[in-house]
A and B are shown apart, each in its own frame.
Chain A
Amino acid sequence: MFVPTAAETLDPAHAAARTREPAIVVDHLQKTFRLPHRRYSTLKERVLHPFSSSTYDELHAVHDATFSVAQGEFFGIVGRNGSGKSSLLKCLAGIYNADSGSVAIAGRISPFIELGVGFNPELTARDNAMVNAIMLGLSRKQARERFDSIIEFAELEEFMDLPLKNYSSGMVVRLAFAVTVQVDAEVLLIDEVLAVGDAAFQAKCFDQFHRLKAEGKTIVFVTHDMSAIQRFCDRAMLVERGKIMSIDSPSVIARAYNELNFGQILSEGAGPRMIPDVAEIKEAWFEDADGKRVTALEHGARMAMAMEVRFHQAAEDPWFSLHVRNPARHVVFSTGSTLHLTTTGAFTAGETVVVRVELENWFSPGEYTMTPTIAASGGTDVLDVREDLATLDVHGRPLGGVVDIPHTFEVHRS
């Protein structure tokens, strides 16, 4: 698959995570659900069909999972819908009873796997926060003591006596997150967080994650958000059909996940069709003004991005395109051959070409990834896609927007 870059393998955080004491040890964990072909839930049906209920499908939600998570590690679990990642989390939390194998946890584990569980829309924020905190494992006294900091963190002081049904969904998540970070557990399990909330609150959540990390808490979190995985996790795990596909550094897993997702969708016929073995993207990179390959650049300088493509079969007028995404996964810049050229020409089997785009670096400071694609002429059939193949760190003065366009600023007095 992918070879981790030098930066990943040398990162001391990852090395440390592997040498620390384990916090979670999962050994040959197995969880199978029996899905009867008909569900008999009334007595009459039982009586009328006493034997037919013996036919069922077995669904291996967790299949022979063995892995361990070190103390103080941030461990991400990714996988497509129905891949068994939530079932795995429920086995870790002790909500589901595993069929065989074992889960051993060192220290106190948070009993939650989801934010805001048990919130009742009729109750006020105050009552909900108290109930939630107690469910989380705080005593009534602790919950009362921490109530102010919960409400303060959630920035809901003015609304705390309002029933939750009058809240926006973002406010509910803020409250839920504020309660959750008050937990005393040493091991936290979190399913799908940070999907909502405005930018300012998300930044606060990220700060809290860093705080938890600094306090040496172990966090296992399940998400679809690859940027969050890359931002916080020390390691990540890819799950597919109940099986662990791989455990690796977050960027490797994020790419594998994107590939799995994209490849799967294409082969299922939804969206563009994937035509394999015509062309292959070998590499993609960013360059500075001198044409040197870089992973970090100063804002405002000339730069280039490029991909190297090798053709395995002859191709007539393939379309090349490059997309740049920011950490929030928004495409901030996208360009393609069709915008500039009437045709890219004909290529023969075995030929290697480099596609280069020169531009001025107007991106705001932050981390960017580049996804190169090649499509067959007409654009409907994809020849190759490599999600987030190259990354770029842009330095410079921090700005609020996604781009920092050269501009002037004046104040006129009339």
Chain B
Amino acid sequence: MSVSTPHVVQRPSVIGSDFKRFFALAWTLAVTDWKLRFYGSALGYAWTLARPFLFFGVIYFVFTEIVGLNKDVPNYGIVILFSLVLFNFFGEATGGCVSCLVVRESLLRKVRFPRLVIPTSVILVALFNLGMTLIAVVIFGAFSGVYPKWSWFELIPIIVAFTMFAAGVGLLLSALFVRFRDVEPIWDVFTQMLFYASPLLYVASNVPEKYLDLYMLNPIATLLTATRHVAVDPNAPEPWDLVSSPELLLIPAALVVGLLVLGAWVFSREAPKIAENL
């Protein structure tokens, strides 16, 4: 053995020093969760695609054929699907993060590994799901005349921003949940509020102009408006067309970044004590 004097001082870590190990762990946990999700079902992995298909079929039919809402919005069904998929990603990532540390209690108490691995794996699973459901959306889009185009590459920064927002909120909630179990019901209600405060069942341009400045402070509203523009309808307004001055959009951007910093700070403060507080 080449080791000489003891030098590594043992403390619980947040990120750890070995990035490869961090990623291998997060990836393994995510894949395991993914496998377990459809474990025991006859169709197995086929459900990851079949489920959004069935779900979207219903939504698409209801909103384009029955409700008849937004007749003036071109391809409204596809706009809804894109928005819903992204919102579901946010909901799944944050909702999964809330209890992730408590669910993984046995690991946290018995293995030393960077604590950040666990929320990271939750977000990875949500990203897998987002990828699969986006495939379903693309297929639906092709059927209703929305074909892939170059501007879809602009979805990448949108998804990155969604991921940052979800990660910030998720880290904050997961660390708080260890101490306060009320976080879960509170967040459930809050997710519902966000659902209606975001352009999912309507488009942002429907919102009365006097509320628009306030409305667009919600990062999800901003991001979904941008999604509609780049993914479905190039004639739809960009987020900055809806607010009185484009600088106002710095606030939702600051919210995303600020929550990520706050979440990371709270998480790293709590991480060394997680194992004993569980």
Contact = CB atoms under 8 A, between A and B. Distances in A.
Interface residues of A, number: 48
Given A41-B181, A97-B273, A122-B40, A140 B9 contact: no
A107 B24 CA distance: 21
Interface string B172-203: 00000001111000000000000000000000
Nearest to B186: A43
Interface stretch (A86-94, A261-269, A313-321): A86-94
A43 B182 contact: yes
Contacts of B106: 117-118
B112 A94 contact: yes
Given A33-B276, A123-B32, A96 B113 contact: no
Nearest to A24: B6
B7 interface: yes
Interface string A80-124: 000000000011111111100011111101011110011010110
A114 B110 CA distance: 6
B6 A106 contact: yes
A22 interface: yes
Interface string B1-37: 1011111111111000000110011011100100110
B107 interface: yes
Interface residues of B, number: 40
A109 B32 contact: no
Interface centre among A46, A98, A117, A135, by most chain B C-beta atoms within 10 angstroms, is A135
Given A107-B3, A111-B112, A42 B180 contact: yes
Contacts of A134: 24-25, 28
A297 B27 CA distance: 58
B275 to A, nearest CB: 5
A300 interface: no
B112 A105 contact: no
B4 A21 contact: yes
B111 A117 contact: yes
B28 to A, nearest CB: 5
Contacts of B45: none
A127 interface: yes
B154 to A, nearest CB: 33
Contacts of B108: 95
A91 B6 CA distance: 15
Given A95-B12, A107-B3, A112-B110, A41 B180 contact: yes
Interface string A118-145: 1010110001001100110101100000
B182 A95 contact: no
Interface in B157-176: none
A96 B7 CA distance: 18
30 contacts: A21-B3, A33-B276, A42-B182, A91-B10, A95-B12, A95-B108, A95-B109, A95-B110, A95-B111, A95-B112, A97-B12, A103-B9, A104-B7, A104-B9, A105-B7, A105-B8, A105-B10, A106-B7, A107-B1, A109-B8, A111-B113, A113-B110, A113-B111, A114-B110, A134-B25, A135-B25, A135-B28, A135-B111, A135-B113, A186-B3
8 smallest CB-CB distances across A and B, nearest first, come from: A94-B10, A104-B6, A107-B3, A111-B112, A97-B272, A106-B6, A106-B3, A94-B112
